[in-house]
């Protein structure tokens, strides 16, 4: 098939591109930079921003399916930046799919669209969107996800949204490097009691799920117009996993702790200080959203993804960690 991958030069996007190429699909990527290595692999590269409707329209022309992985993620920043990239960008993708008769759209969402700061213990997709938001990222992604799901229209455009949690693995330039850097600088502490369970997903499993979802988007299929949680299906103790990661990088394990209540309060104060100072181009060391993410349980029921498009993690946690260790 002819597939467009927005954010195809990013962490998840590259794995989606590679898996599409491996099975013989024609691939085009839309990204904000040039990607000579992808071009050398036979990928058609379109340079531009998803907030630019004209560029998005050009990129979607002639495609059978769009994988929309492009987004701005983070715990801090200007609402307008998140809105333009995550909401307007997604609206442009949907409009271009309709304009050019693209039949299928797989949208990369986030489990944070359902997170209100409380524990999420094995929740499924019936959990509602929250009424309060602790950060701009989940709020913008929730708006985008709802737009994609309501855009599902049999006979015209079939859509679904995937919610992979804490994507990790080789070539990650965000989660793992930041954890290691903070630990090396002595700025990382265990938040809460250190026993909270979290789900995560190895990047190749997340990419496989995107292709499986696209293949399952057929007329009358249950997947159409629905969102799905994705993970390894084997929750881990968050801080044990972080210490395992630090061990791979030959960094001593974390011992110092800060209570969830204290971290949350400090996060609120730091957000206020940064807001008053107009500091939006750098992140506070702590925010309310980050404190909640680091201290609470959040793991999910994968029954729907397994049932509706055959999702099953092919690479388990142990094998994923072994592969990661080879790259650190």
Summarize pLDDT for 73-86 with one digit per residue, the tens: 999 999 999 999 99
Whether residue 121 is contained in a domain is answered as yes
Q: How far apart are CA 22 and CA 177, in angstroms?
A: 28
| pLDDT by 10s per residue, the chain, length 328 | 999 999 999 999 999 999 999 999 999 999 999 999 999 999 999 999 999 999 999 999 999 999 999 999 999 999 999 999 999 999 999 999 999 999 999 999 999 999 999 999 999 999 999 999 999 999 999 999 999 999 999 999 999 999 999 999 999 988 999 999 999 999 899 999 999 999 999 999 999 999 999 999 999 999 999 999 999 999 999 999 999 999 999 999 999 999 999 999 999 999 999 999 999 999 999 999 999 999 999 999 999 999 999 999 999 999 999 999 998 8
The predicted-structure confidence for 268-321, as pLDDT tens digits, reads as follows 999 999 999 999 999 999 999 999 999 999 999 999 999 999 999 999 999 999
Q: What's residue 328's pLDDT?
A: 82
Q: What is the predicted pLDDT for the residue at 66?
A: 98
Contact criterion met (CB below 8 Å) for 321 and 236? no
| In-domain check, residue 246 | no
- In the set 137, 202, 264, 311, the catalytic residue is 137
pLDDT for residue 53:
98
Q: Cα–Cα distance between 191 and 105 in angstroms, integer? A: 38
Half-sphere exposure of 213 toward its Cβ, with a 13 Å CA cutoff? 33
Residue 183: what are its φ and ψ, rounded to 5°?
-65, -40
Q: Is there a domain that residue 108 lies in?
A: yes
Give the per-residue pLDDT at 254: 95
Q: Residue 284 has what pLDDT?
A: 95
Residue 34 lies in a domain: yes
| Contact (Cβ atoms closer than 8 angstroms) between residue 298 and residue 271 | no
The pLDDT assigned to 85 comes to 97
Q: Residue 82's domain is classified under what CATH number? A: 3.40.50.720
CA distances from 146 to 107, 109, 211, 312 (A): 10, 10, 21, 25
Domain count for the chain, please give it: 1
Query: Could you tell me if residue 242 is inside a domain?
Result: no
Q: Which domain holds residue 16?
A: 2-169+199-233+299-314
Does some domain include residue 291? no
Q: Does the residue 240 lie in any domain? A: no
- With respect to residue 273, please indicate whether it lies within any of the assigned structural domains: no
137 part of the active site: yes
Q: pTM of the full predicted structure?
A: 0.96
pLDDT for 75:
94
Neighbours of 153 (CB within 10 A): 12
Contact 131, 92 (CB under 8 A): no
Six-digit token string for 220: 């009358």
3-class secondary structure, 298: strand
């Amino acid at each position: 098939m002819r597939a467009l991958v927005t954010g195809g030069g990013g962490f998840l996007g590259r794995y989606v591109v590679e898996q599409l190429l491996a099975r013989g699909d024609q691939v085009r990527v839309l990204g904000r930079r040039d990607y000579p290595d992808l071009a050398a692999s036979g990928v058609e590269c379109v340079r531009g921003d998803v907030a630019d409707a004209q560029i998005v329209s050009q990129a979607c022309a002639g495609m059978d399916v769009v994988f929309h992985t492009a987004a701005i993620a983070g715990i801090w920043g200007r609402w307008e930046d998140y809105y333009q990239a995550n909401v307007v960008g997604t609206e442009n993708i949907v409009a271009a799919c309709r304009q050019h008769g693209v039949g299928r759209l797989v949208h990369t969402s986030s489990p944070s669209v359902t997170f209100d700061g409380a524990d999420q213990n094995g929740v499924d997709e019936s959990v509602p969107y929250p009424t309060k938001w602790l950060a701009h990222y989940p709020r913008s992604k929730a708006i985008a996800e709802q737009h994609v799901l309501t855009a599902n229209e049999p006979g015209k455009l079939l859509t679904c949204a995937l919610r992979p949690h804490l994507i990790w693995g080789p070539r990650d330039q965000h989660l793992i490097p930041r954890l290691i850097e903070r630990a090396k600088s002595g700025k990382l502490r265990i938040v809460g009691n250190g026993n909270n369970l979290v789900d995560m997903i190895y990047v190749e499993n997340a990419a496989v799920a995107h292709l499986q979802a696209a293949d399952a988007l057929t007329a009358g299929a249950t997947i159409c117009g629905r969102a799905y949680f994705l993970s390894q299906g084997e929750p881990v103790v968050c801080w044990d996993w972080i210490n395992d990661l630090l061990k791979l990088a030959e960094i001593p394990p974390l011992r110092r702790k800060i209570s969830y209540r204290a971290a949350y309060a400090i996060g609120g104060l730091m957000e206020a200080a940064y807001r008053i100072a107009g500091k939006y181009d750098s992140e506070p060391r702590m925010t309310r959203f980050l404190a909640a993410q680091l201290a609470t349980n959040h793991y999910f029921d994968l029954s729907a993804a397994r049932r509706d498009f055959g999702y099953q993690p092919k690479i388990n946690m142990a094998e994923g960690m072994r592969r990661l260790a080879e790259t650190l």
